[in-house]
Amino acid sequence: MAASPAYGEEKGGSSSLGEPEYGHDPASGGIFSSDYKRHDDLKEMLDSNKDSLKLEAMKRIVAMIARGKNASDLFPAVVKNVACKNIEDPNQLIRASALRVLSSIRVPIIVPIMMLAIKEAASDMSPYVRKTAAHAIPKLYSLDSDQKDQLIEVIEKLLADKTTLVAGSVVMAFEEVCPERIDLIHKNYRKLCNLLIDVEEWGQVVIINMLTRYARTQFLSPNQNVSVGTSGCPRSLGVAAVPHRSVQYVVLQNVATMSIKRRGMFEPYLKSFYIRSTDPTQIKILKLEVLTNLANETNISTILREFQTYIRSMDKDFVAATIQAIGRCATNIGKVRDTCLNGLVQLLSNRDELVVAESVVVIKKLLQMQPAQHSEIIKHMAKLTDNIQVPMARASILWLIGEYCEHVPKIAPDVLRKMAKSFTNEEDIVKLQVINLAAKLYLTNSKQSKLLTQYVLNLAKYDQNYDIRDRARFIRQLIVPTEKSGALNKYAKKLFLAQKPAPILESSFKDRDHFQLGSLSHLLNAKAVGYQELPDWPDEAPDPSVRNVEVPEWTKCTSREKRKEKVEKPFYSDSEGESGPTESADSEPESVSEESGSSSSSSSSSSGSEEEEEEDEEEGSGEQSEDKEEEEEKRPKRKEKEGSQKAAPGSAGRYPLGRRGVPVTPPPPQPIPSSSIVSTSLVTDLEGLTLTDTSLAPALLSPAFGAVRTYELLHRMAGEGLSVEYCFSRRPFPGDPHMVAVQIQISNNTDAEVKNLRVSEPKPLSGMRIQEFPEIERLAPGDTASVVMGIDFCDSTQAANFQLCTHTRHFYVSIQPPVGELMAPVFMSENEFKKEQGKLTGMSEITEKVTLPEKCRSDHTIVQQVTSAANVGRVPCGADNEYRFAAKTMTSGSLVLITLERREGAAAQLTVNSEKMVIGTMLVKDIVQALAQ
């Protein structure tokens, strides 16, 4: 009894809020309640600003559900309270997870809540949350397609995002929701092309597919006679180096299709398609297809020698494909037809019946081209009918004998006699050819074969296969004259013995090019579900001005750099070219001190310029994130000025190097007085430190000139005697500090003079710039010339494509830089290094454990290996077991900090800090590889 007052008090306490208890309300049963007022009080409590009311409402809803009451109309209000709190959480991972869960709820009633959450997430400061918002867009569209207009607005906003993390996801949303809105891509086209190299692999696939369709509608068809990028495309395919067989299979499928119409792209890399014994059968057959497509009169002898080796393989399917490939080569290249035919005839004596059978089929097709010259081969094949049991081979022999029975008049009737004996035991395909042989012999040699023909036709008349019965009935009425036979009897000989065209042996990949390369439909050679046909090229190019938008932030010169150029104008005066590099080095301390003295004024003015730049940018999170990036780039850009002043601009002309065979050696760095090395602030930072290497300071001034690695730009075979090599000299390119200096050595290995050597029609990617070298008027036979050209790679390892032209030829070439050549050394103190490293943590830090070999454990060797892999400068360090290096990227000036910490034994830890995560990851791999050598 004592419990009753307490229960009443508890109930009264809850009812004091003015809310009825639905569990005990008689009207809650639904008989007397009105639907339009149902649960209104709970909805008001959930929409309240007081957490206590929301909590009480949630308790009541849970109680209702526990008693089996229907509370589905409260679902949106509950979701709003549960999800919205997490969507506003300070942690970006929780915000993204809340949006992901919310967008996965497939209930139409919460569509407005989902739309609000997506719009809010699209303006979030975190790129990860914006990426999740892009993922949620197709989910909401599939739930309610009426929201398309609002979703397009969100997609348009996200397409303007400059983060690589968002690019792939928003393009996928664009493809799902509004692929027809091509106008949304116009102003973002160049930006997406620039970001493509840094987007994750799944995003790259989506963006490439979208850009392919965009290009088919916005650009004219390129010249089919020009193979663009012939130097880089096959090398990038890397067929022989692909580790995964599934990837190798897809790559080879595409190569097999391209090699039919663009043979010149792959001919220089013929050996890359040689078959290994460890390759699976499907890879062997694809490589064989490519080799056959690339065969011509120049390389056919090499390819046939390869085929002779393949025929001895234990893989029977591969051997059969090789024999078919030999037949295709003989068909396409007339001068080796007899050689191939003789080789196939020798295979007829092989012990393997499958090899003999495949050879017979191929020989049959080749003999159709010149039957009169090869009657001996036909006689030899007729003798094989007693031994060969493969139906297709027996049928091929019978067809040959019947088709050219006039060339073997004595052997053909005897073959028919033997086949008549075994007619009932033969396969259907063989029986049909026996009937054909009997008909042809009846028309040409009826005296010897009349009775045999009637016997064969009588056997076929009662065969179990209706095709054979019909064929026998048809032929009997056609060739045997009777009273009922019609007018066709007169033309029987013309029908059976008409001259038939020789078969054309073509590649099975010939008609696959109508499917998009890399698609599932191309792989299967059949239209797959969801495949979209590529649109036709337009007859007239649409207006290209629709893509003319503001230059991306990473390629345009900021106001701070413009002011620097104004300050540097007196430094780069006309008198400098006359005074030489020594004079510019002597004048450096004065310029450095002037800059350090005016640092406070420049910082205050830069803040003003930042405010002006922010007005042009997007509102919200974009402004704050870009302000932070600009603050982090202040120091590298100040260092960029010092680095550009430390080396005097050299000549961009050419240097004759005498006869061929002389290696490319960059000119040694000019000696610079030690007084110009360290600024006042650097001396202060180094006070009290014990350096492990007293000769460290002079080494900080210029880039590391170790063993310069040369790369082949144009092979002398592909260049018809003109060979070109290049190397990265690691010297500043005169006139533009953002360009990488590339030293090119051109050798004339011909007996004739080469004239007008120049660069023509450079076609760099958007943002990439190429400064051509001066034209070489003439290059004598056997001579070598060296020139320097500048390339702004835009902090990307993508290749720069251009034409190298002479007075008679044009060669398409490309230069692809290692990631370590995309940066220039930065000179800083240990304190500055630690300060900048503290800013580049989290996702901007890549760590890798390294095991140092014995020959790479000395200080000198470690420094040499690191500087050979990347153009970095050594940073002073007080610890004996630590090595520090610093550099900045050439285009954006982003810092790249490298730390190598030695531990016990051979263990070491390599750390790279850089806001350019892709560059950092690639640099770690290159340095680890260099240290392991």
**Which domain CATH number covers 731?**
2.60.40.1150
Other CB atoms within 10 A of residue 572 CB: 16
User: CATH number, domain at 100?
Assistant: 1.25.10.10
Q: Is the pLDDT of residue 582 over 80?
A: no
CA distances from 798 to 195, 359, 553, 662 (A): 11, 47, 19, 29
Asked which of 70, 93, 117 is the last residue of a domain, the reply is: 70
Please report whether residue 681 resides in a domain: no
Mean pLDDT over all residues of the chain? 76
> For 670, which DSSP code?
P
Closest CA to 785 of 764, 806, 762: 806
* Lookup result for tokens 């070109």: 724
User: Do both 493 and 508 map to the same domain?
Assistant: no
Please report whether residue 738 resides in a domain: yes
Mean pLDDT across the stretch 101-118? 86
Q: What pLDDT was estimated at residue 900?
A: 92
Q: What pLDDT was estimated at residue 691?
A: 37
Q: How many domains does the chain have?
A: 6
Choice among 109-113, 253-257, 585-589 with the minimum mean pLDDT: 585-589
Q: How confident is the model at residue 508 (pLDDT cuts 50, 70, 90)?
A: confident
CA distances from 584 to 365, 568, 572, 581, 734 (A): 78, 12, 9, 5, 14
User: Do both 827 and 806 map to the same domain?
Assistant: no
User: CATH number, domain at 887?
Assistant: 3.30.310.10
Q: Read off the pTM.
A: 0.47
Please report whether residue 645 resides in a domain: no
Q: How confident is the model at residue 898 (pLDDT cuts 50, 70, 90)?
A: very high
Q: How confident is the model at residue 223 (pLDDT cuts 50, 70, 90)?
A: low
Please report whether residue 613 resides in a domain: no
User: Do both 493 and 415 map to the same domain?
Assistant: yes
Mean pLDDT across the stretch 263-272? 85
User: CATH number, domain at 327?
Assistant: 1.25.10
CA distance 634 to 835: 13
Asked which of 49, 70, 91 is the last residue of a domain, the reply is: 70
User: Do both 432 and 487 map to the same domain?
Assistant: yes
CA distances from 610 to 549, 617, 631, 693 (A): 21, 11, 10, 41
Instruction: Report pLDDT digits (tens) over 818-844.
Output: 999 999 999 888 889 999 998 888 888
Instruction: Report pLDDT digits (tens) over 6-24.
Output: 444 443 444 344 444 444 4
Higher-pLDDT residue of 25 and 933 is: 933
Please report whether residue 399 resides in a domain: yes
Q: Is the pLDDT of residue 618 over 70?
A: no
User: Do both 154 and 291 map to the same domain?
Assistant: no
Mean pLDDT across the stretch 658-685? 40
Please report whether residue 667 resides in a domain: no
Contact 712, 719 (CB under 8 A): no
User: Do both 120 and 188 map to the same domain?
Assistant: yes
- What are the residues whose beta carbons fall under 8 Å from the beta carbon of 890, sequence distance 6 or more? 737, 738, 739, 740, 792, 793, 795, 822, 823, 824
User: Do both 51 and 198 map to the same domain?
Assistant: no
Longest CA span, the chain: 127
User: Do both 771 and 864 map to the same domain?
Assistant: no
Contact 772, 759 (CB under 8 A): yes
Please report whether residue 538 resides in a domain: no
Higher-pLDDT residue of 726 and 48 is: 726
Q: What pLDDT was estimated at residue 243?
A: 57
User: Do both 59 and 164 map to the same domain?
Assistant: no
Mean pLDDT across the stretch 26-40? 52
> For 336, which DSSP code?
G
Mean pLDDT across the stretch 654-676? 40
**Structural domain of residue 888, as residue ranges?**
821-932
* Lookup result for tokens 């569509």: 111
Please report whether residue 568 resides in a domain: no
User: Do both 887 and 916 map to the same domain?
Assistant: yes
Asked which of 820, 843, 869 is the last residue of a domain, the reply is: 820
Mean pLDDT across the stretch 531-538? 83
The one-letter amino acid at 300: I
Q: Is the pLDDT of residue 650 over 70?
A: no
Q: How confident is the model at residue 583 (pLDDT cuts 50, 70, 90)?
A: very low
Q: How confident is the model at residue 221 (pLDDT cuts 50, 70, 90)?
A: confident
User: Do both 176 and 299 map to the same domain?
Assistant: no
Q: Using the CB atoms, write b or e for 585-612: b if 16+ within 10 Å.
A: beebbebbeebeeeeeebeeebeeebee
User: Do both 362 and 256 map to the same domain?
Assistant: yes
Choice among 34-38, 298-302, 609-613, 869-873 with the minimum mean pLDDT: 609-613
